[in-house]
Structure 1
Amino acid sequence: MIRTLIWFSYFWGFLFWHFPAIRKARVEAENLPLAERDELIASLPRRWARTLVKLTGSTVEVFGEEHIPKDRPVLFVSNHQGNFDVPILIGFIHKPKGFISKIEVKKMPIIGSYMEAMKCVFIDRKNKRQSVKAIQEGIKYLKDGHSLVIFPEGTRSKGKEIGEFKGGSFRLAVKSEVPIIPVTINGSYQIMEKNGFIMKPANVKVYVSDPIFIDDVKHLSMDELGQYVKTIIAKNLKNPGNSLK
């Protein structure tokens, strides 16, 4: 319980204390080249996210990060085991990235401003027109050079099981023609979801598979592409590292 209280104190304390810094970084970044801009914006959230994970006593190992193209934007596609997936991806995969997130997160104090600075995209699943507009915004961000993360299950599995991948999620990559990077997160649910609201240490492993280039999968429908990516991610849950070359 004490660990959990310390965690929440840091969570909000860091955000409030460094809020002026993120606003300043947004202004300074406007005149920087895109790569430098994204790195400047990502530096504070990365430090925050890594500390959030460490405060739980957990460890994170990343395998295959060398598979991520350094000179172009990508769409990270990941399974979604728990609430800690977001800080794990922010803090332990270095490439700057935004997230496709539900619109409710945007309404949270301070957090919404940080996410806007990171070029996150917010989707209202109850509003079809807004959802379409948000996907179009995500496609534009990718074409402009910003990487994004999407959880095509749409919600946390709270365990090792992988839910259905929504094929429409992959329109982001197909329309922007950026590589898809399958990411397998194994063990993040053990930090919180397995224990209710109490945080406990866990050993989390993250597997980054080879890029999937759109030219190689153009013959697949959106649903088929979703199933193909899901199969790659699932292999690393059953046989860790199996899909890594």
Structure 2
Amino acid sequence: MKSIKGLKLIFFNIAFYFLFFLYSAIAIPALTLLVAYFSLFMSHRNTMKWFRRAISWYGMVAIKVLPFSSIRIYYKDYEKKPGQGPYIFVCNHRSATDPFLMACLPYECIQVVNIWPFRLPVLGIYARWAGYLSINEIPFKQFSKQAVKLLRQGVSIIVFPEGTRSGGKSMGQFHGSIFRVAIEAKCPIVPVCISGNENIPPRGSFLLRPGKIKIHKLPAIKWEEFKDLKPFKLKNMVRNIISEEVAVMDRKE
């Protein structure tokens, strides 16, 4: 019985990665040409907006269509009246699939990433073009300046303040840089909680496993609610909010 399940898992992964690379080989050039065409008639700002949305569309298909029904994703927005943004989305980080899952957020976004995503063939180049930021590559002052500039343009920022994926249900401590930016930019913080993907794939492996992933977007924390807090206290407050929600999500698996 175990051998049959193992064969099914291997077949699923072969099928998924074959379709993923085939899809990428078609979708990336097609979306690039589409955005390049519209850039002839649009301002640079609008071109970047559509370019970032194209990246989200690419990610949406990768996480919702290619896995067939083996990996189910449930996104829930707890904001009664979702605003236009921009926001700083603060997320827990369990798996390498987390950045793809952020395609569920219906906003123009960039992500704060480690250095390695920039080294990926093709995708790393697109991440740089889209304005993704690496706190490990540049001094904090430069990072903060670029982040504030993006926020003032209406671009939301997605960050995983643990810095690296936990690979399980535990959650690491948060780094404080993005919370200093939130205070300076007077930008609302939105906690985003992810549950169920700690084995999709497991840390140190590319082998995807079937499962159910839940993403909860919690109500925004307005600047007025944290303007008097120090970054250290703010990061711990947001971490506690995410930790409590994720614990509830895990119990309901």
TM-score, normalised on structure 2?
Answer: 0.82
Alignment pair present for 1:171 and 2:180: yes
- Match of residue 144, structure 1, among 144, 153, 156: 153
- Match of residue 70, structure 1, among 68, 72, 83: 83
The residue aligned with 2:93 is 80
- Match of residue 133, structure 2, among 100, 111, 121: 121
The residue aligned with 2:51 is 41
- 1:8-40 per-position Cα deviation (integer Å, ceiling 9, x unaligned): 333333333233334341563482595x64652
> Structure 2 regions of 5+ residues with no counterpart?
1-9
Q: Contact 2:91–2:191 at 8 Å: present in 1 too?
A: yes
The residue aligned with 2:168 is 159
* Change in 2 beyond 3 A, CA 1:83/1:155: same
4+ residue runs over 6 A deviation: none
Number of matched pairs: 236
1:1-245 aligned at under 5 Å gives the runs 1-24=10-33, 25=35, 28-29=38-39, 31-32=42-43, 37=47, 40-54=50-64, 55-56=66-67, 57-64=70-77, 66=79, 69-90=82-103, 92-123=104-135, 125=136, 129-193=138-202, 196-240=205-249
* Change in 2 beyond 3 A, CA 1:62/1:151: same
TM-score, normalised on structure 1?
Answer: 0.84
Aligned sequence identity (%): 23
Report the secondary structure of 1:189's partner residue.
Answer: coil
Q: How much does 1:109 deviate?
A: 1.4
Q: How much does 1:161 deviate?
A: 0.9
Work out the CA distance in 1 between the residues paired with 2:201 and 2:161.
Answer: 21
Amino acid of the structure 2 residue aligned with 1:112: G
Q: How much does 1:188 deviate?
A: 1.3
> Structure 1 regions of 5+ residues with no counterpart?
none
- 1:181-233 per-position Cα deviation (integer Å, ceiling 9, x unaligned): 00110111132117943111111111111111112211211010000001110
* Change in 2 beyond 3 A, CA 1:130/1:26: farther
Q: Contact 1:183–1:209 at 8 Å: present in 2 too?
A: yes
Work out the CA distance in 1 between the residues paired with 2:117 and 2:81.
Answer: 27
Work out the CA distance in 2 between the residues paired with 1:119 and 1:169.
Answer: 16
Work out the CA distance in 1 between the residues paired with 2:245 and 2:232.
Answer: 21
Q: Contact 1:119–1:146 at 8 Å: present in 2 too?
A: no
Amino acid of the structure 2 residue aligned with 1:6: A
Q: Which has the larger radius of gyration?
A: 2
